[in-house]
Amino acid sequence: MSTLTLTNEVIYKSFMVGAKNVISEKNELNAINVFPVPDGDTGTNLASMMLAILEKSRLGQTLTETMQSIVDAAIVGARGNSGIIFASYINGFADGLKTDQPDLNTLIETSEKAYDYAYHAISKPVEGTMITVMRAWAHALREFKKATSNAIDVFMRAFEVLKEELAQTPEKLAVLKENHVVDAGAKGFVHFIEGFIKALKGEDVVIEQHEAVEAIHVDHLEDSQFRYCTEALIRGENLDIEKVRETLTPLGDSLVVAGSKKTVRIHIHTDEPAKVFAYLDGVARIAEQKVDDMRRQFEAVNHRKYPVALVTDSIADLPSDLIDHYQIHQIPINLKINDSDYLDKVTIQSSRFYEMMDELKVYPTSAQPNVKSLENFFSFLSTYYKDILVITVSEKMSGTYQSFVEAKKRFPHVNIHVVNSKQNSGAEGLLVLKAAQLIDQGLSLPEVTEKIEALTTKSKILVSVKVLKYMVRSGRLTKVSGTLANLMHLKPVISIDEDGAGIIFAKALSVESANKKIYAHMQDIVSTYGIDTYAIVHANAEDRAKDYQKAYEALIGFPPAYVMDISTVVAMNAGIGTVAIAYIRKDQS
């Protein structure tokens, strides 16, 4: 094997085995992840990209076709800082292979080009990380080629240097030295090369997910630390990568921009993901986006308050201070606006949507989180929690519940309970809050699940819709029924039935009449059962919400758990001016 002509099949298998080797080390890589943020997801992110390579790439007729398939899979599947850097490395590797029968010299030159691609994808490269070992690998290959013509011998000797360079990463980066670990991303690269070499030797790797390793404990995040790990995949023609990098640099740190003139993957840590996507929307079509709350991830790794992870979707209207207090994980619903994708409450806020909604020629649509993204999410959570409770918007209103159910199937050894709230907005939010309080009281996952499922039948939301045109545009009302309702000047009260389907609860000819019908219902509930807790939510209707708060505080005898603006998804359907009261009643006395 002194000349080692690398065939299309050999290169393809080498990438597949390298990918499997990284996936097997996911939990260990998560456990030692302390840079750039100690959020414990480097292994999850690298495993996501490697799984995309395994599932989406194909052995082509030529090496060029094969490598393009691998590059496409890597860029689409890339997640996190390390994942996108690695995808850029693979892109450079593919660009360097200009022949279908590369020899050892070509592979060395290709490794150097791959490093160069990865290095230039990073806004501010830091030594002691993945980029350091990528460079060391390329240099070691070139040096040992001078000493021997035996290709496998060159690889094995260079791999020993690579491991030594990995062991030295703590000397180059203080945070690694303080925590007595090597860099997680760098270690992921070493595992990939290890698998790559095994394939060249005719060996294979069976994916064996090792047991979760106790994570390195980090006391606190730096005050200057940005909160959101923000990523996007954009598509267009003649995309200017340098321009994108230059414009996004002031919005955060850990910026990585990788890809081609048609497809670009972006990663940045920022406090303003909405600004990032507002800019990208003017540059190209946003094909994918992901925003991780690094503070919540950090807490999961280092400061878990509870043994149960509580998860919900963004349709659950619950104030951010309560979400933070109870360490609730909120998964955003997807919105498509002007052919670009957004994440509810994260990359678009209701305030911006209100400014847009009357000008949109094509009204936005919403979609549940995709199963793959939820699998990645469960992959991360299951590293740190054995018990996970998910409370979703009504199954009758969204496919979100079913997406979570499908995603949990990949984790048969984790206790994941998915509850259909049969509610939305403030009513769903109150159920999530009640679950958080029960977990805080020390109840087990089965106990909390049983109580919340029972409370779904004692929960309700009553919505006073001020203008029907938004419900017509969103498809919640047909154009015919919407037109008739407008002609009749109806101001209906919308609610949800016992199965979780939207219904017209009462018809009214004015907002005042609708308010009276809601108040009469609440009087009946207060006198018959009593109110356990309630909330008031609205769509850019603070004055109406204040009136509701005053009226119901007097009726019920205590203030609402919260008053807040509703999610963009709910606002899209209900429309500006809407106000609603949600409650959980007591058992009949």
What proportion of the chain, given as a percentage, has pLDDT over 70? 92
Q: DSSP 3-state assignment of 475?
A: coil
Predicted confidence (pLDDT) at residue 480 exceeds the cutoff of 50: no
**Mean pLDDT, residues 364-373:** 84
Domain ranges, ordered by start, for the chain: 8-200, 224-301, 458-585
Question: Of 114-128, 147-161, 255-269, 426-440, which has the strongest mean pLDDT?
Answer: 426-440
How far apart, in Å, are the Cα atoms of 53 and each of 90, 208, 267?
11, 17, 19
pLDDT at residue 476 above 60?
A: no
Give the CA-trace dihedral at 94, 100, 101, 102, to 10 degrees: -20
Q: DSSP 3-state assignment of 486?
A: helix
Quick one: which H or E segment has residue 554? helix 542-556
Q: Looking up tokens 């205590």, which residue turns up?
A: 558
Positive or negative: CA dihedral 394, 398, 400, 405: positive
Band the pLDDT of 40: cuts 50, 70, 90.
Answer: confident
Asked whether 423 and 393 are in contact (CB, 8 A), the reply is yes
Q: Which amino acid is at 416?
A: I
* C-beta of residue 416 within 8 angstroms of C-beta of residue 408: yes
Q: What is the pLDDT of residue 445?
A: 97
Mean predicted confidence (pLDDT) in 312-332: 96
The answer, yes or no, to whether residue 408 has pLDDT greater than 50, is: yes
- Prediction pTM value: 0.74
Residues 522-544 have a mean pLDDT of 96
- The residue-averaged pLDDT of 371-392 equals 92
Residues in the chain: 589
Q: What is the pairing mode between strands 493-496 and 340-343?
A: unpaired
Element of type H or E holding 423: none
pLDDT at 154: 92
The two most distant CA atoms of the chain are separated, in Å, by 90
Least confident of 22-31, 240-249, 436-445, 567-576: 567-576
Characterize the bridge pairing of strands 252-259 and 263-270: antiparallel
| pLDDT tier at 477, thresholds 50, 70, 90 | low
Cα–Cα–Cα angle for 76, 81, 87, nearest 5°?
40
Which CATH architecture does the domain made up of 458-585 adopt?
Answer: 2-Layer Sandwich (3.30)
| Cα 468 from Cα 228, distance rounded (Å) | 36
**Mean per-residue pLDDT, 103-122:** 92
Count Cα atoms within 13 angstroms, Cβ side, for 114: 28
Distance from chain centroid for Cα 433 = 22
- Residue 113's nearest CA partner among 82, 77, 132, 88 is 88
How many angstroms separate the CA atoms of 467 and 514, rounded?
12
- What percent of the chain clears pLDDT 90, i.e. is strictly above it? 65
101 φ/ψ sector (left φ>0, alpha ψ -120 to 50, else beta):
beta
Cis bond before residue 560 (omega within 30° of 0): no
Q: Does residue 587 or residue 478 have the better pLDDT?
A: 587
**What average pLDDT does the segment 372-388 reach?**
91
Residue 414 burial by CB count (10 A; 0-12/13-18/19+): exposed, middle or buried?
Answer: middle
Q: CATH assignment of 8-200, given 3.10.20.30, 3.40.190.120, 1.20.1740.10, 1.25.40.340?
A: 1.25.40.340
Q: Which residues of 118-137 are buried (b: 16+ CB within 10 A; e: fewer)?
A: bbbbbbebeebbbbbbbbbb
**225 pLDDT more than 80:** yes
Q: How far apart are the C-alpha atoms of 366 and 303, rounded to whole Å?
A: 34
> CA end-to-end span of the chain, whole Å?
84
Residue 67 has pLDDT above 60, yes or no: yes
Crossing angle of helices 80-96/42-56, nearest 10°?
40
Distances (CA, A) of 267 to 123, 129, 230, 243, 270: 10, 16, 6, 15, 10
Helix (H), strand (E) at residue 322 = helix 320-325
Q: Assign domain 224-301 to its CATH architecture.
A: 2-Layer Sandwich (3.30)
- Looking at the predicted structure, is the pLDDT value of residue 222 above 70? no
Q: Among positive and negative, which fits the CA dihedral 375, 377, 383, 384? A: negative
Indicate if the pLDDT at residue 215 is higher than 70.
Answer: no
Beta bridge partners of 366: 335
- pLDDT tens by residue, 180-210: 999 999 999 999 999 999 999 999 988 876 5
